[in-house]
């Protein structure tokens, strides 16, 4: 697998977000005039470096990581997680510290199933929620490198449903009080969450309630029709609102490639990297390793299995923004691929 130069301009420091315990942030620069070149800012939450600084960035990052981890007491960094697990506020957690080809620490804390008293283990499969976004984005940028789409392409090229979008006059106001969008949404708008789309929790009022009613368990076309019937919360490109944009991006990938999104990601990301436990569904054996989902009830107690068991067949709608399941070792493979400049051979061995 190889991701080309366009992607390298967009990907930086994601491994810091994925390997949460290595908290070394290198300052980057991102001028407004160059925003369209950088498509991971909204996904990772970090500022990104200009392309000419990429090599220097890697050198500095390597040296800073080496210095930083030599000063960290790794034995103490699990204390806060263990505290909330012991208090019954969290069922369990798995953390990994990786540096320069070596796993320095692995913490398996608590339980992946509290009632069954099954402990958290290294091979536990997690619903990784929005950590799906960088994976879908990496696949999208590979298509950009291949010339199948461009960052400034309007998404109506593949999604005519987005023609004639309207924008709310008041973000918290009635849905029928809206004006025409000034321009079409672009691929870049989706990648940077500047499309005007939203999540139910990122907006308020009638629009938030309408987002809650979207048919997420229906097929992508039905969901998209319902989504595009809603007004945007702001003009495309005007500002950032965390949103379903990566779900929309996944539908674009599927339409470009003429395949289901799970097939696109398997062929472009999972198989080349050897991410055998990652996907929108798990095997029967994998379901036994899946972490149970919990929430806190009104009494502050863990409530069992709020999202149901892990699916063992492809869901009707594979959500590129939040539908993946994975393990800590699989996601490390993905993060290492990014850190290595987007390269891995056919066996998934990374060229570091």
Q: How far apart are CA 199 and CA 194, in angstroms?
A: 13
| Mean pLDDT value of segment 158-172 | 98
pLDDT of residue 56: 55
Cα distances (Å, whole numbers) of residue 216 to 159, 224, 244, 247, 325: 18, 9, 11, 10, 17
- What phi and psi, each to the nearest 5 degrees, are found at residue 73? -85, 95
Q: Which long-range contacts (CB under 8 A, 24 or more apart) does 161-166 make?
A: 161/224, 161/225, 161/227, 161/228, 162/228, 165/196, 165/228, 165/231, 165/232, 165/236, 166/231, 166/232
Cβ neighbors of 22 (< 8 A, separation 6 or more) are 15, 16, 65, 68, 69, 97, 98, 99
Contact (CB, 8 A) for 123 and 289: yes
pLDDT score at 342? 84
pLDDT, tens digit, 9 for 90 and up, residues 189-236: 999 999 999 999 999 999 999 999 999 999 999 999 999 999 999 999
Closest C-alpha among 275, 341, 278, 334 to residue 134? 334
Q: Which residue has the higher pLDDT, 190 or 42?
A: 190
The pair of structure tokens assigned to 260 is 């289901």
The closest alpha carbon to 216, from 326, 324, 318, belongs to: 318
Number of helices followed by number of strands (H, E) in the chain = 14, 9
CB atoms within 10 A of CB 310: 21
Q: How does pLDDT run across 279-293, given as a tens digit for each residue?
A: 999 999 999 999 999
Q: How many CB atoms lie within 10 A of CB 152?
A: 10
Q: Which domains does the chain have, with CATH numbers?
A: 134-257 (3.40.710.10)
3-state secondary structure of 18: helix
Q: What is the share, in percent, of the chain residues with pLDDT greater than 70?
A: 77
In the predicted structure, residue 311 carries a pLDDT above the cut 60: yes
pTM of the model: 0.80
- Alpha carbon 267 to its chain's center: 18
Contact between 312 and 284 under an 8 Å Cβ cutoff? The reply is: yes
Higher-pLDDT residue of 58, 252: 252
pLDDT of residue 70: 52
Alpha-carbon distance 62 to 243, whole Å?
33
Provide the pLDDT confidence category of residue 60 given band limits of 50, 70 and 90: low
Contacts of 66 (CB under 8 A, 6+ apart): 99, 100
- The string of pLDDT tens digits covering residues 102-127 is 899 999 999 999 999 999 999 999 99
Range from 4-18, 28-42, 67-81, 302-316 that averages highest in pLDDT: 302-316
Q: How confident is the model at residue 307 (pLDDT cuts 50, 70, 90)?
A: confident
pLDDT tens for each residue of 26-39:
222 222 222 332 23
């Amino acid at each position: 697998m190889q991701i080309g130069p366009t992607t390298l301009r967009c990907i930086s420091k994601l491994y810091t977000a994925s390997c949460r315990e290595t908290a070394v942030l290198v300052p980057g620069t991102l001028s407004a005039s160059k925003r369209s070149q950088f498509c991971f800012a909204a996904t990772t939450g970090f500022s990104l470096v200009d392309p000419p600084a990429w090599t220097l960035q890697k050198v500095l990052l390597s040296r800073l990581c080496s210095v930083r981890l030599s000063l960290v007491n790794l034995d103490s960094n699990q204390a806060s997680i263990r505290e909330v697990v012991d208090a019954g506020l969290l069922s369990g957690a798995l953390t990994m510290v990786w540096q320069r080809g070596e796993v320095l620490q692995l913490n398996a804390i608590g339980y992946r199933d509290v009632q069954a008293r099954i402990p958290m283990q290294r091979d536990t499969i997690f619903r990784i929620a929005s950590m799906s976004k960088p994976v879908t984005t990496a696949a999208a940028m590979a298509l950009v490198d291949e010339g199948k789409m461009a960052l400034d392409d309007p998404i109506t090229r593949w999604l005519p449903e987005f023609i004639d979008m309207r924008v709310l006059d008041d973000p918290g106001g009635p849905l029928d009080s809206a004006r025409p969008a000034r321009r079409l949404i672009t691929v870049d708008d989706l990648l940077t969450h500047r499309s005007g789309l939203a999540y139910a929790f990122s907006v308020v009022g009638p629009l938030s309630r309408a987002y809650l009613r979207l048919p997420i368990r229906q097929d992508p076309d039905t969901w998209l029709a319902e989504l595009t019937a809603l007004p945007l919360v702001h003009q495309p490109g005007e500002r950032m609102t965390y949103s379903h944009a990566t779900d929309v991006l996944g539908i674009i990938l599927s339409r470009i490639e003429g395949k289901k999104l799970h097939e696109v990601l398997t062929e472009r990301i999972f198989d080349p990297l050897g991410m055998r436990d990652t996907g929108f569904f798990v095997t029967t054996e994998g379901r036994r390793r899946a972490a149970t989902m919990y929430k806190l009830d009104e009494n502050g107690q863990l409530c069992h299995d709020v999202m149901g068991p892990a699916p063992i067949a492809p869901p009707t709608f594979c959500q590129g923004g939040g539908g993946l399941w994975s393990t800590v070792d699989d996601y490390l493979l993905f993060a290492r691929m990014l850190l290595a400049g987007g390269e891995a051979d056919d066996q998934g061995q990374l060229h570091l």
